[in-house]
Amino acid sequence: MSCPFHDKQPDPFSEPRRKDGVLINPFQGTPIPMLLRHDEVRRAAKDWETFSSDAPFRIPIPSEESVRTVRQLPLEIDPPEHSDYRDIVEPFFNRARLPEVIAQVEGLVGTLVTQAVARDSIEIVREFAIPLQSRALACLVNLPQSEADVWISWGMHIFREGDGTSKGAALETYTQGLLDRAAAAPGDDLFSALTQARFRGRPLTREEMLGFCNIVFAGGRDTIINSIAFVIGHLSAHPSDFAFLREDPKRIIGAREEFFRVLSPSTHLARLCKRDTELHGVPVRAGDLISLNFAAANYDESVFDQPEKIQLDRRPNPHVAFGFGPHLCLGAAHARLVVRSLLKLLCEKVDCIETLATVDRYEVEATYKRRVAYENFSVRLSPLSAT
């Protein structure tokens, strides 16, 4: 089954991936070579001694020096320190596997789907996906849903929608307040845990706590929002795939992974070269950045048969939508829970999804233009008849 996004626009990295294996793009005026092939992206992701993440503010692309003041942890640090930082928060991110958290997320998805079905139409990005991402995050970090009401107001992306500088400062002020309250009256939430955590025998500094908070709120926000909208868009465009999943709910797990592969919510992340090297004939000096392009790797024809076709039963599916190696996405289990719950509840409650209007969202750079879901997406959900 073809993907509605790529029916209109093929994979923008196809030709350079096959021909050169690397594509140089100027990001914020600096030419950065992007690795495009699956095996090379995975090798580089594991080779932190050559391709380092110890580059504060510069691992996300575009870089974020102007919109935040703290290093995101554990994203922007290398092993072995990375592992010790990750160990502090990983138990909270693994809550996405707990039966009680799964039940909470399925309950809130069910409520949102029921509310959407009762309406004549709904705009998916801001009226469904952003509330779902925010409320599911509250379940994950064990805060009340009243906090999610604040997060819903932040829009699609903390730094890249609206005035990123002022939004970044507002986020830091907000998280300082969360940490102050947690320190004064500790609870069972992630932020209380940060105020009591220790790194190699010492308490975390407030800057380190803020580094964790920053990635919790900014790191996986737009990626999950885009994933939710993408799934609904595909099921609307291809009702036969919707029927395929409804016929056997066991197919949802494989379909979820294929959706992540095809969308590739994060196009790429940077790495800082620690020593002089060469990428397909392109010299890279120590201190320069390269990019690991996960989106390009997920369409590598040497790994994925007919990569621009959505195959909901694709096996195997070694996608790198969540990265690879020591920096495998902390929020992967949470993202998987949200999308699996969405597919489950749509199959249980919705007969068909009618697209009413769309405005596509693009990532536009000098050497490529990539569709990454929707700016706006209005649909009508018809209820599944009771039998």
Q: What is the topology classification, in CATH, of domain 4-383?
A: Cytochrome p450 (1.10.630)
Strands (E), 89-209: 122-123, 198-199, 202-203
Q: Which amino acid appears at position 9 of this protein?
A: Q
Q: What is the pLDDT of residue 2?
A: 47
Per-residue pLDDT tens over the stretch 15-27: 999 999 999 999 9
Per-residue pLDDT tens over the stretch 54-94: 999 999 999 999 999 999 999 999 999 999 999 999 999 99
Helix-strand-coil percent breakdown of the chain, rounded to 5? 50, 20, 35
Identify which of 271, 279, 365, 362 has the alpha carbon closest to the alpha carbon of residue 53.
271
Q: Which amino acid appears at position 322 of this protein?
A: F
CB 290 within 8 A of CB 317: no
How many other CB atoms sit within 10 Å of the CB of residue 54? 16
Q: What is the pLDDT of residue 376?
A: 96
Q: What is the pLDDT of residue 360?
A: 94
Q: What is the pLDDT of residue 220?
A: 85
CB 261 within 8 A of CB 321: yes
Q: Give Cβ neighbours of residue 329 (< 8 Å, ≥ 6 apart).
A: 220, 322, 323, 335
Q: Positive or negative, the Cα torsion across 106, 336, 70, 211? A: positive
3-state secondary structure 323-360: CCHHHCCCCHHHHHHHHHHHHHHHHHHEEEEEEEEEEE
Q: What is the pLDDT of residue 162?
A: 74
Find the largest Cα–Cα distance for the chain.
Answer: 66
Average pLDDT over residues 225-237: 97
Please report, rounded to a whole number, the percentage of residues in the chain having pLDDT higher than 90.
92
How many other CB atoms sit within 10 Å of the CB of residue 78? 19
Token readout for 349 is 């409650």
Q: What is the pLDDT of residue 335?
A: 98
Residue 288 has pLDDT above 50, yes or no: yes
Instruction: Name the average pLDDT for the chain.
Output: 95
Residue 5 has pLDDT above 60, yes or no: no
Residue 291 has pLDDT above 60, yes or no: yes
Domain boundaries, the chain: 4-383
Q: Tokens 């993408």 — which residue?
A: 230
Token readout for 157 is 């992306």
Per-residue pLDDT tens over the stretch 202-225: 999 999 999 999 999 998 899 999
Q: 245: helix, coil or strand?
A: helix
Per-residue pLDDT tens over the stretch 297-332: 999 999 999 999 999 999 999 999 999 999 999 999
Q: Tokens 């790495």 — which residue?
A: 271
Please report, rounded to a whole number, the percentage of residues in the chain having pLDDT higher than 70.
97
Average pLDDT over residues 266-270: 97
Per-residue pLDDT tens over the stretch 326-347: 999 999 999 999 999 999 999 9
Distance from C-alpha of 337 to C-alpha of 349, rounded to nearest angstrom: 18
Per-residue pLDDT tens over the stretch 187-197: 999 999 999 99
DSSP character at residue 309: B
Distance from C-alpha of 13 to C-alpha of 36, rounded to nearest angstrom: 7
Q: What is the pLDDT of residue 156?
A: 84
